[in-house]
Structure 1
């Protein structure tokens, strides 16, 4: 009997907490992206990790993505969709690793890691929805030749973080395109 009362009291506390959170506007984070288009065709010189992440996020939000990079060139004409609501032109997708600091002996001490993506969004009729825009991220990395493997892993994590940030910025811009 005591265990049942304790269970009912705990369940009641959970329900009261849930009602309080619902009243304050709390909700679980989901994809939450709403776009003014259903289909998007990508025109890019090559498929990259940024494009793959963007494609995955768009598809998770219900957008049909076609024509990504090299895969678009190998797709048969019969398999290609006739029209897309919008065309995303990827003008530049670049990763840079630049030495910004050295010792007196010429050893590398600091690197700048950069990721740049330039794109434009238009309709199939040529109406420009987003003019040419550049998204850029930069991270600094101290370097030591004694821990090269650890620094390579750190560099990979920093590039992954920059990719995630750029995709998020890209999605915000695409979601701001006016609805039909």
Structure 2
């Protein structure tokens, strides 16, 4: 019994050392933190929270939003769909939120589409309890904020794949 406990402890220590080594060596997921290949962009988008999230992610990637950039991202309005996944009307409900938004990318000099009309789609779920009705709105808003942030990251990931002019 003592040997089994020792081996488990050894495994936990080895995992911790490996994780610490990865964190210290600059390890990051592919596509995260890589440069976009351009430093200026024109964004055509409706006023809204998704647009705000995209602007923040672009700023974090050191991309300036200007009117005369070589590329233009056309971002459409977000569409939020909400589904209840749990059967029944009482107790804890699992709710799925799905955010979709159309977008395209054009070269501004000739209007050519580098990415024709595409869609960003992100999904999350959260648990809503009938006993905590005051918290329900906060849970939904936090889930929507997370969806918008993830949608913005997904858009930037697709922009990284472009051959820029």
**TM, length-normalised to structure 2:** 0.69
Verify: 1:50 aligned to 2:50, yes or no: yes
Q: Deviation per CA, 1:13-72, whole angstroms, max 9, x where unpaired? A: xxxxxxxx59x992276x72412333211112x222222122122123332214xxxxxx
Question: Bigger shift: 163-172 or 141-150?
Answer: 141-150
Alignment equivalent of 1:145, drawn from 117, 123, 130: 130
Alignment equivalent of 1:171, drawn from 128, 134, 156: 156
Show the counterpart of 1:156: 141
Show the counterpart of 2:33: 32
Match of 1:118, SS state, is strand
Alignment coverage as a number of residue pairs: 140
Q: Is 1:129–1:177's contact at 8 Å kept on the other side of the alignment?
A: yes
Within a 5 Å distance, the mapping from 1:124-143 to structure 2 comes to 124=108, 125-143=110-128
**TM, length-normalised to structure 1:** 0.64
In structure 2, distance between residues paired with 1:25 and 1:147: 42
Within a 5 Å distance, the mapping from 1:1-180 to structure 2 comes to 26-27=25-26, 32-44=33-45, 46-66=46-66, 81=67, 83-99=68-84, 101=86, 103=88, 109-124=93-108, 125-180=110-165
Show the counterpart of 2:13: none
In structure 1, distance between residues paired with 2:114 and 2:24: 32
In structure 1, distance between residues paired with 2:72 and 2:43: 6
Q: Which protein is bigger by CA-based radius of gyration?
A: 1
